[in-house]
A = this chain, B = another copy of it.
Amino acid sequence: MKSVNTDIAYDYIRKRILSGEFPPGHPLLTEVLARDIKVSRTPVRDALRKLETDGLVSIRAHLGANVKKMELKEFSEMCDLRLALESHAAGLAARNHTESDLREIQFALTAMKRLTEQIARDASEQPLLAELIHEDVRFHIAVMTAAKNDLMKKEILRLHLINRVVSGTSMDKQPVPKVEADARRQSVLEKHQDIYTAIAASDPAAAKREMEFHLQEMIDHSLLLMTRVESGVIARELSPEELAYSS
């Protein structure tokens, strides 16, 4: 399977968006991108269209493309969507998991446990934090995989990515007291353990309930952080009244 230019352009742009090099709202000019990637504008346009449907880019006819920027309402809706899908998937995982699925989930879980304790003990957090997040993602992916529904997995992964782009950039700027953060991490860990237990016990209702609870907690936290951010990378739209005052 020869890789076509469209795919090259897609990977290039997508990578930059996910790495934060193209932050939300960043304009994506087809000509500039075409020059950088060294292909013509057509495959770039195709790539942008594809990214739009991934939810990472927004395109308006004649007005060009931007990295997707979400206001609070849309973000909240997306979180709820994710809640619906991922909790359902947890229920399915309790039904359909194999032995190897369980091992994978548990593996991520023990890694998280180790990292959480280590972070709580040590002062130097930064690289460990990234690793913890990575294992967190791994845990969730493992659960979705165990659900044995590829379409659902794909859809949830899509939402995860959008979430990462939209909220990832703002989270960094929020200084949180270490004690509070440690408590949160501990709580997250326990929730994950509950989810694992329910899945391992083949108890769909419990798995679903625990996942729902876990995600709701996370969502509340995210939304709280976002509303605190007055002017950030993810600027919410100003209402007409607010606009009048800001000039």
In A154-207, which residues have CB < 8 Å from any B CB?
A: 155
A63 to chain B, nearest CB (A): 11
Query: What is the chain B residue whose CB lies nearest that of A7?
Result: B61
Counting contact residues on chain A (CB < 8 A from B), the size range is: 20 to 34
Docked complex: A117-174 residues within 8 A CB-CB of B: 149-152, 155
**Chain B residues near A49 (CB, 8 Å)?**
46, 49-50, 53
Give every chain B residue within 8 A of A83 (Cβ-Cβ).
88
Residues of B within 8 A of A150 (CB): 77
Determine whether A84 belongs to the interface, using a CB cutoff of 8 Å to chain B: yes
Interface residues of A in 34-90 (CB under 8 A from B): 42, 45-46, 49-50, 53, 61-62, 74, 77-78, 80-81, 83-85, 88-89
Enumerate chain B residues within 8 angstroms of A243, measured Cβ to Cβ.
none
Say yes or no: B50 contacts A149, CB within 8 Å: no
Q: In this assembly, does A224 line the interface, its C-beta being within 8 Å of a C-beta of chain B?
A: no
Of the residues B46, B53, B80, B155, contact of A149 by C-beta under 8 Å = B80
A9 CB-CB contact with B under 8 Å: no
Q: Which residues of chain B are within 8 angstroms of A78 by Cβ–Cβ distance?
A: 151
Chain B residues closer than 8 Å to A81, beta-carbon distance? 85, 149, 151-152, 155
A81-129, CB < 8 A from B: 81, 83-85, 88-89, 92
Residues from chain B with a CB closer than 8 A to the CB of A85 are: 81, 84-85
Q: How far is the CB of A246 from chain B (nearest CB, A)?
A: 27
What is the CA–CA distance of A92 and B74 in the complex, to the nearest angstrom? 16
Complex interface residues of chain A between 1 and 56 (CB less than 8 A to chain B): 1-2, 4, 6-7, 42, 45-46, 49-50, 53
Task: Kindly list chain B residues whose C-beta atoms are within 8 Å of the C-beta of A42.
Answer: 42
With A46-B49, A49-B50, A50-B53 in contact, is A151–B77 under 8 Å at CB? yes
In whole angstroms, what is the CA distance A1 to B42 when docked?
A: 23
Which residue, A6, A53, A81, has most C-beta atoms of chain B within 10 A?
A81
**In the complex, which residue of chain B has the Cβ closest to the Cβ of A77?**
B151
24 of the cross-chain contacts (CB-CB < 8 Å) are A1-B61, A2-B61, A4-B61, A4-B62, A6-B61, A7-B61, A42-B42, A45-B46, A46-B46, A46-B49, A50-B53, A74-B151, A77-B151, A77-B152, A80-B92, A81-B149, A81-B151, A81-B155, A83-B88, A84-B84, A84-B85, A84-B88, A84-B89, A85-B85
